[in-house]
Chain A
Amino acid sequence: MVYDACVEVKLREGIADPQGSTIEKATDNLGFAGITNVRVGKCIRFQVEAGDEEEAKNIVSELCDRFLTNPVIEEAVIEIQVVG
């Protein structure tokens, strides 16, 4: 089976996010009141071949741990869906 994977890489809680705070300041300047907690991450999309969804998740999870994230400052949220 082929699965669509979407990995959201985000900064761990407590890690300062200079991009997020800069964007937050800009929203204020633009007149959007009440925009808070801006955090910037990235989304990596790809397809993965696996026997079932469980296996696909395990492969992507290992890929995140070894390569797609730096666990010192980042964590990943993984979404898997059958290509359809």
Chain B
Amino acid sequence: MNQNIGVVVFPGSNCEKDAMEALADLGATPLLLWHADSDLQGVDAVVIPGGFAHGDYLRPGAIARFSPAMEAIIDFAHNGGPVLGICNGFQVLTEAGLLPGALQKNAGLKFLCKEVELQVESTNSVLTNMTSKGQTLRIPINHFEGNFTCTDETLIELQSQDQIILTYRENPNGSMANIAGICNTTRNVVGLMPHPERACHTLLGSTDGRILLESFIQGAHAAV
């Protein structure tokens, strides 16, 4: 299962190497995609990694969202291509309109860097299809603006359409409905604040991120 997975780099991204390392360890072939290049090089799936694209100026993801690579990724996603946004990548996907809602400053105004327990709410997404509903995953978070916010109508839609895929067992940042990760209505675009790529090796304290990235690689295979 040798899937080519593009990892997008913006000025200020800082988790692209972690993502590539984890994807390669799971048998995929990761390659870097520069944000200013609109050619996605025929990849089977795209990961938008964590970091501080364009310094998070204006709003996290607000400037990155207009990169040539993002315009191509929006088309790719609309054609069913698997897209995963991790942390800053999640923020970019909401700014791009590929996922609903927005990520606000954490309720406690603290930068949070710790391992948290997540609960799988839906297995019907490109990131969670190998997990079991109700399963607990220990995965680190590392963010200042991870407080998921949306209108009441959007929250009802997310709930009724089974788009909330991961929640926090103990809400660290004030996110509505304890939301840690969501998917779009066609289940191929996913965003989450926690970092599965940092929980792929026993040396890092948890391997619970592997099943998520394995699902994603599998999804890339299915989408081809």
What is the interface of chain A, defined by CB distance below 8 A to chain B? 15-16, 18-19, 22, 67-68, 70, 72-73
Among A19, A67, A70, find the residue whose CB has the most chain B CB atoms closer than 10 A: A70
A73: chain B residues within 8 A (beta carbon)? 102, 104, 149
Please pick, from B107, B147, B151, the residue contacting A72 in the complex, using a CB distance under 8 A: B151
Within the assembled complex, what's the spacing in Å between the Cα atoms of A18 and B145?
11
Q: Could you count the A-B residue pairs with CB atoms below 8 Å apart for me: how many are there?
A: 36
How many interface residues does chain B have, given as a range? 20 to 34
What is the interface of chain B, defined by CB distance below 8 A to chain A? 58-59, 62, 66, 94-95, 100-102, 104-109, 147, 149-151, 174
Please pick, from B94, B106, B151, the residue contacting A18 in the complex, using a CB distance under 8 A: B106
Within the assembled complex, what's the spacing in Å between the Cα atoms of A73 and B174?
15
A67: chain B residues within 8 A (beta carbon)? 58, 62, 66
Interface pair B150/A72, CB less than 8 Å apart: yes
Interface pair B95/A18, CB less than 8 Å apart: no
User: Provided the pairs A73-B104, A73-B149 are in contact, do residues A18 and B109 lie with their beta carbons within 8 angstroms?
Assistant: yes
Q: How far is the CB of A60 from chain B (nearest CB, A)?
A: 15
Please pick, from B59, B66, B109, B174, the residue contacting A19 in the complex, using a CB distance under 8 A: B109
Chain B binding surface, main DSSP class: loop
A-B contacts, 5 of them at CB < 8 A, read A18-B105, A22-B109, A67-B62, A70-B95, A72-B150
Please pick, from A22, A68, A72, the residue contacting B101 in the complex, using a CB distance under 8 A: A72
User: Provided the pairs A15-B149, A16-B174 are in contact, do residues A68 and B58 lie with their beta carbons within 8 angstroms?
Assistant: yes
Within the assembled complex, what's the spacing in Å between the Cα atoms of A70 and B174?
19
A22: chain B residues within 8 A (beta carbon)? 109
Q: Smallest CB-CB separation from A12: which chain B residue?
A: B151
B150: chain A residues within 8 A (beta carbon)? 72
Q: Smallest CB-CB separation from B60: which chain A residue?
A: A70
Within the assembled complex, what's the spacing in Å between the Cα atoms of A83 and B64?
32
A18: chain B residues within 8 A (beta carbon)? 104-109, 147, 174
Within the assembled complex, what's the spacing in Å between the Cα atoms of A68 and B62?
8
B59: chain A residues within 8 A (beta carbon)? 70
Interface pair A15/B104, CB less than 8 Å apart: yes
B149: chain A residues within 8 A (beta carbon)? 15-16, 72-73
A16: chain B residues within 8 A (beta carbon)? 104, 107, 147, 149, 174
Within the assembled complex, what's the spacing in Å between the Cα atoms of A18 and B103?
13
Within the assembled complex, what's the spacing in Å between the Cα atoms of A72 and B94?
10
